[in-house]
Homo-oligomer: A and B are copies of this chain.
Amino acid sequence: MTTQPETTARLLVTCPDRPGIVSAVTTFLYHHGVNITELDQHSSDPSGGKFFLRLEFQTPNLDISREALLRAFGDVVGQRFDMDWRINFAADKPRMAILVSRHDHALLELLWRYARGELPVEIPLVVSNHPDLRQAVEGFGVPFQHIAFSAETQQAAESEMLAALDGKADFVVLARYMRILSGDFVQHYTSRIINIHHSFLPAFPGGDPYQQAYKHGVKLIGATAHYVTAELDQGPIIEQDTARVSHRHSIDDLKRLGRDMERQVLARAVRWHVEDRIIVDGNKTVVFS
């Protein structure tokens, strides 16, 4: 498709389902010179359920300013259907901060894709509770900040992190960050913190999932990317995958195979977040992938 990032925009909508929504939205956009290039919708129940919509559209012939478009959409369509909506312009790259501990595989996967131009984001900052990965991060031209984090210093550490991220990050990725963040921290980035957990949740929440998988003798191991909420490993699931294992695999083998899965699953989840493909619906997600 010959779409251009400079002229691509996306509309996400959640509202009560009722007839006429798509007609109203697409007619509004058509009348302002917009060309729709992707449209996905979902209804939890056509009578009395919730309606979800994602539209990707091209704006080279937009007949009003972006600001006017936003204002007019809210006035003409949003209010009428009681919508929760937003329009993002692809030219405004989202800013992604990364939190990491010592395992570097998930972090490096994101940095490599970023360096290759595969991930349309800016990366203002990587924060770690260990100093080890400074060189690896700075080699990509990305700033690194070490903020120690222990049970006693949690509050101070989180304050320092919030200050470091403030005004710089639109969303945060936990690329194997091994500290549990407080509900207080999390609420600053509701539905904007993505975590990669190394099991197919809800199996094996909490610590050491590969040891648990080994002990249970499961024949599949998994990885799960999800939005972080105040409840540990309970947030809305974005993406999951599994790989076959057998009695021949040691715990170290599970970890090695798991790393490959974590990298792939997290990369997909981040890509979908950045392309505005995810709508959070309570403890679940609608992913228009």
1/0 per residue, CB under 8 A from B, across A230-273: the answer is 00000011111110001110100000100010001000000000
1/0 per residue, CB under 8 A from B, across A107-119: the answer is 0100010001010
User: Please, which residue of chain B has its CB at the minimum distance from the CB of A34?
Assistant: B19
From DSSP, what is the main secondary structure of chain A's interface residues?
mixed
Contacts of A247 in B (CB 8 A): 42, 52, 281, 284-287
Contacts of A155 in B (CB 8 A): none
Contacts of A37 in B (CB 8 A): 43, 46
Flag the segment in A64-72, A74-82, A212-220 that touches B. A212-220
A38 B36 Cβ-Cβ under 8 A: no
Query: How many copies altogether?
Result: 4
User: Please, which residue of chain B has its CB at the minimum distance from the CB of A42?
Assistant: B247
User: Please, which residue of chain B has its CB at the minimum distance from the CB of A256?
Assistant: B118
A200 B202 Cβ-Cβ under 8 A: no
- Which residue of the partner chain, among B39, B108, B239, B283, contacts A22 with CB atoms under 8 Å? B39
Query: Quick one: which of A1-40 are within 8 Å of B by CB?
Result: 1-3, 19-20, 22-23, 26-27, 29-30, 33-40
Contacts of A22 in B (CB 8 A): 22, 26, 36, 39
Q: In the complex where A22-B39, A264-B260 touch, is A239 in contact with B219 (Cβ < 8 A)?
A: yes
